Amino acid sequence: MIPFLKFIIMDFSSDHSSNYSTAIDAAFQCITSSHSNSHNLSELPWDRFSRWVYCICVVTFDLELGQAMEMVYPAHVKLTEKEKASICYMAFPDSNSGCMGNTQFYFRMRQCPVRRPNLQVHEDFNKSCMVPLQIDFCHYLGFVYFRQVKDKSLPRGYFQKSMVLLTKLPLVSLFTEVLGKIAPSFFSNGEPCLESACHDIDQWPHPAPGLPLSLPLMGNVLQVYIPSRIDASSPISRDEESEENTVQIYEKINIPSSYEVDIFQSFLPVLSHIQLLWELVVTSEPIIVMASSPTITCDIVQALISMIWPLKYCCDYRPFFTIHDSEFKEYTTKVQAPPPVILGVTNPFFAKTLQHWPHIIRIGDLQSVPNKHKIKRGGNIKVLDSKPGLYTQYKPFLSKDKDVLKHILKGIQSERPVEVQNTILRHYLLELTQSFIIPLERYMASLMPLLKNISPHKDTPMPRPFNPDDFLKSIEQSGPQLTSGIKGNWSALYRRFFRSANFAGWYNSRYKEVTYKLQGLHIQAISEADMLEWIKDKEEVEIVDLVLRLRNKLAVVESGNLSLPKRTAEKLQSQVSAIIATLPDDLQNVLK
């Protein structure tokens, strides 16, 4: 079972206004007891805040200007004019549906190329979190809480305002929950509520995957667990591990992690095409999701990019895309083929503008029974804005797994709980992806040099290059057929995958991990070798060169990218000191 990002909300009092200070005190005690090292007196105000949230914006509707930025908090945060304009445009739904009441969704936008250095805590986050949850430093995620209600006291007769939380962390469930608590209080009580909430966030410990975190927020404490890379290989859910300790004390609210959206409800209208959609996503095909609400497009886009877990979706994706987006012309041009991106749109204008896109998902009623009809061929349909369904001319390489679909459809008829349906569908997609990845991982392991060839007296060996033809020969005997009962042309699917950004992302990540592994093995070999014996017949120039190379190895160890015992680094440092001691005094002074 895939690990959960979970929340436990502790409600200290039914009357938050009267017991707010007591709640905060209790929250701080909870924080300091489990994370005493997170408070660093040398940190400046808002340092901890910036680890989680870049800023919170309030966007209102101005009769003369349209959507306008009313407030940015904290006030010292800098946004470019282009970023402010993008946030304003994306903060309101872009459809004719009206979206009365409260609407929550999120968008993804490019960071303007200004000098904003990456935070070290975010670099560390990427090293320890699951690959699908890694931060993309080129983009922001904006979580929106939009309110539109009738108000006769206003000139237009409506109250229209949005709160936008801007962050680098792709923790969709967490920030949706956080904004769902802050925004209603702000709309009702004004700026002091926002200030209090931001000061709460400024007390949060750093986002550490693999550790239970206690996050105080407006009289509650969110108990959060962000899955780590270790969890990716563990079948035990964190919910199951801690159930005994928490469920009897607090009201427990489990919110799936960012890649565990409600995929059953999201895919319900196109459920019979789920395997075809998996092929489109894994091979980085351009996809448009059309719906009436940004909430729906966000859920479906998130479900699409998460359906290939534990592979990371390495292309661009926009859960909510509008005609005002800075990449509008880039993504809608008909001069060249559509780029590998998944776009969620609500404006009917896109139904005609994007008819040339190869794959279009048109969503109507999410509660409708799965479409049992054949796939609609995009080129033959003229009224894309009125008929729900999947429009594509793509011919899948794999045969459809009818048994899984029958099992899920039977669950719909018998009113099986949604949680169970989600688990069945998620397990099916996970097995499909793992069957696809295992041969790649096995082949990647075969490219590693033999352990006996790692010599302390030679350079670090490198893995052999990935050869697609050699890989395809290997799957004849050890391919997906060993773990999956799905028939089809797996070789052709792999060839298409090799041309995609998802393969490039997977290979670059694995190659980096493999080279780090080889460096670690090489450093261990050096630390255990008798280097003093080796340098006995060497010239001074060779010895100095060796010292410099060993110091480079120490720098790699200190970077934290290698998982090495502390004793290994100490032995390596002793080797360097011992070698330097054999040199003349003048050279020793230079090297020291």
Q: What is the tens place of the pLDDT at every residue in 113-168? A: 766 778 889 998 998 888 889 999 999 999 999 988 877 777 676 778 999 999 99
Of 52, 72, 94, nearest in space to 191 by CA: 72
Q: Whole-angstrom Cα distance, residue 113 to residue 368?
A: 44
Partners of 146 in beta bridges: 103, 162
pLDDT of residue 294: 92
pLDDT tens digits, residue range 540-584?
Answer: 788 888 888 888 888 887 777 777 777 887 888 888 888 888 888
Which segment of 99-103, 313-317, 490-494 scores lowest on mean pLDDT?
99-103
Non-local CB neighbours of 97 within 8 Å, separated by 6+ positions: 292, 293, 346
Percent of the chain beyond pLDDT 90?
33
Element holding 586 (H helix, E strand): helix 585-591
Which of 100-104, 304-308, 340-344 is the least confident region? 100-104
Q: What average pLDDT does this structure show over 420-436? A: 91
269's tokens:
């209208």
Tokens (6 digits) for 491: 């070789």
First to last CA, the chain: 53
Lowest mean pLDDT of 140-149, 295-304, 348-357, name the range.
Answer: 348-357
Average pLDDT estimate for 235-244: 35
Q: How far apart are CA 474 and CA 217, in angstroms?
A: 53
pLDDT band at 386 (very low <50, low <70, confident <90, very high): low
Here the tokens at position 37 are 């090292």
Q: Which residue has the tokens 């949060």?
A: 204
Amino acid at 402: K
Specify the DSSP class assigned to residue 71.
E
Instruction: Please name the residues in contact with 298: beta carbons below 8 A apart, sequence gap of 6 or more.
Output: 105, 106, 319, 320, 344
Count each helix (H run) and each strand (E run) in the chain, helices first. Answer: 22, 14
Highest averaged pLDDT of the listed ranges 101-110, 408-417, 561-570: 101-110
> In this predicted structure, which of 379-393, 405-419, 433-447, 465-479 has the lowest mean pLDDT?
379-393
382 vs 56, higher pLDDT: 56
| pLDDT given at position 97 | 53
Read off the pTM: 0.82
Could you tell me if 186 and 193 are in contact, meaning their C-beta atoms sit under 8 angstroms apart? Answer: yes
Rounded Cα–Cα distance for residues 427 and 430 (Å) = 5
Q: Which of 126, 99, 98, 106 is nearest to 167 (CA)?
A: 106
Residue 234 DSSP symbol: -
**Residue 589: other Cβ atoms inside 10 A:** 10
pLDDT of residue 210 exceeding 80: yes
What gap in Å lies between CA 84 and CA 58, rounded to an integer?
A: 11
If you average pLDDT over each of 162-166, 323-327, 532-536, which comes out highest? Answer: 162-166
Query: Does residue 272 contact residue 466 with C-beta atoms inside 8 Å?
Result: no
- Beta bridge partners, 398, equal 488
Average pLDDT of the residues of the chain: 80
pLDDT for the residue numbered 131 = 87
Phi, then psi, of 344 in degrees rounded to 5:
-105, 120
Give the pLDDT of residue 470.
94
pLDDT score recorded for residue 358: 92
DSSP assignment, residue 337? P
Block residue for tokens 């039977």: 410
Average pLDDT over every residue of 330-341: 84
Q: Which residue has the higher pLDDT, 16 or 55?
A: 55
pLDDT for 260 equals 62
Where do runs of H (alpha helix) occur along 203-343?
229-232, 238-246, 263-267, 274-282, 294-306, 328-332
**Sequence-ordered list of residues with C-beta below 8 angstroms from that of 197, at least 6 positions apart, any chain:** 181, 182, 185, 186, 217, 218
Residue that has been written with the tokens 């042309």 in this structure: 489
What is residue 302's predicted lDDT score, i.e. its pLDDT?
93
